[in-house]
Structure 1
Amino acid sequence: MAYETIKVDIADRRATLTFNRPKIANAMNLLMMQELADCFEFLKDNPEVQILVIKGEGKIFSAGGDIKMMMTSGDPVDFEIIMGYITRMVLALYQLPMVTVAQIQGAAAGLGFSLALGCDVIVVEENSKLAMNFIGIGLVPDGGGHFFMKERVGITKAKQLIWQGNIMEPKEALDLGLIDQIVEKGEMEATVDQIVGKFLASPILAVLETKAILHAQKLPELKKVLEMEAAAQSRMRKTDDHLEGIKAFIEKRTQQFKGK
Structure 2
Amino acid sequence: MVSVRSAHTVGSIIRAYGADQVRLEITYGKHLAKNVIPSRITLGCMVEALASNNDPEGAYDIIQQALAEPQTKGLVNAVTYSSVLKSFNHQKSFHRVWDVYDEMIRGKVEFSVTTYNALLDVCARSGEISRAEPLLKEMAVQGITPNIITYGTVIKAYCSANRLDQAFAVFSDMQANTDLHPDEVTYNTLLDGCARYGSFDRGLEVMADMKKAKVPPSNYTLSVIAKLANRSKKPKLAFQMVEELRRGTRELFALGIASRNVFT
Q: Same fold (TM over 0.5)?
A: no
**Greater strand percent: which structure?**
1
Relative to the length of structure 1, the TM-score reads 0.30
**Greater helix percent: which structure?**
2
Q: Which has the larger radius of gyration?
A: 2
Relative to the length of structure 2, the TM-score reads 0.30
